[in-house]
Amino acid sequence: MSAGIDGTWYDAHATFYGDMSGGETMKGACGYGNLFEQGYGLQTAAISTALFNNGFACGACFEIKCVNDPQSCIKNAGSIKVTATNFCPPNFDKPSGNWCNPPQKHFDLTMKMFTTLAPYKAGIIPVQYRRVPCTKIGGVKFEIKGNPFWLLVLVYNVANAGDVSSVSIKGSKTGWLPMTHNWGQNWNAKSNLVGQALSFQVTTSDGKRVEFDNVAPPQWQFGQTYQAKNNF
Identify whether the C-beta of residue 210 lies closer than 8 Å to the C-beta of residue 230: yes
Q: Which ranges constitute the DSSP H helices of the chain?
A: 49-52, 111-117
Task: Give every CB contact of residue 40 below 8 A, 6+ residues apart in sequence.
Answer: 32, 83, 85
Q: What pLDDT score does 1 carry? A: 32
pLDDT tens by residue, 46-56: 999 999 999 99
Q: What pLDDT score does 134 carry? A: 97
Q: What three-state secondary structure class fits 132?
A: strand
pLDDT tens by residue, 76-133: 999 999 999 999 999 988 777 789 999 999 999 999 999 999 999 999 999 999 999 9
Query: Is pLDDT at 43 greater than 50 in this prediction?
Result: yes
Q: By mean pLDDT, which of 4-8, 156-160, 174-178 is the weakest? A: 4-8
Q: What pLDDT score does 169 carry? A: 98
Q: What pLDDT score does 176 carry? A: 98
Identify whether the C-beta of residue 81 lies closer than 8 Å to the C-beta of residue 122: no
Q: What is the mean pLDDT of the chain?
A: 95
Q: What pLDDT score does 81 carry? A: 98
Angle (CA) 43 128 15, round 5°:
55
Query: Is pLDDT at 218 greater than 50 in this prediction?
Result: yes
Half-sphere exposure of 228 (CA within 13 A, CB side): 23
pLDDT bucket at 3, cuts 50 / 70 / 90: low
Q: What pLDDT score does 2 carry? A: 44
Of 227, 159, 146, which is closest to residue 186 (Cα–Cα)?
146
Measured between its terminal Cα atoms, the distance across the chain in Å is: 20
**What per-residue string of b and e applies to 134-173 under the rule 16 or more CB within 10 Å gives b?**
bebeebbbbbbbbeeeebbbbbbbbbbbbbbbbbbbbbee
Q: In what helix (H) or strand (E) does residue 130 lie, and over which residues does it extend?
A: strand 125-132
Identify whether the C-beta of residue 137 lies closer than 8 Å to the C-beta of residue 227: no
Give me the mean pLDDT over the 183-196 stretch. 97
Query: Is pLDDT at 44 greater than 60 in this prediction?
Result: yes
Sheet containing strand 141-147, edge to edge, reads 180-183, 186-189, 150-156, 141-147, 225-227
> For the chain, what percent of residues have pLDDT higher than 70?
99
Of 210, 162, 206, which is closest to residue 39 (Cα–Cα)?
162
Of 215, 14, 42, 225, which is closest to residue 129 (Cα–Cα)?
14
Tell me the pTM. 0.95
Specify the DSSP class assigned to residue 6. E
Of 58, 21, 63, which is closest to residue 42 (Cα–Cα)?
21
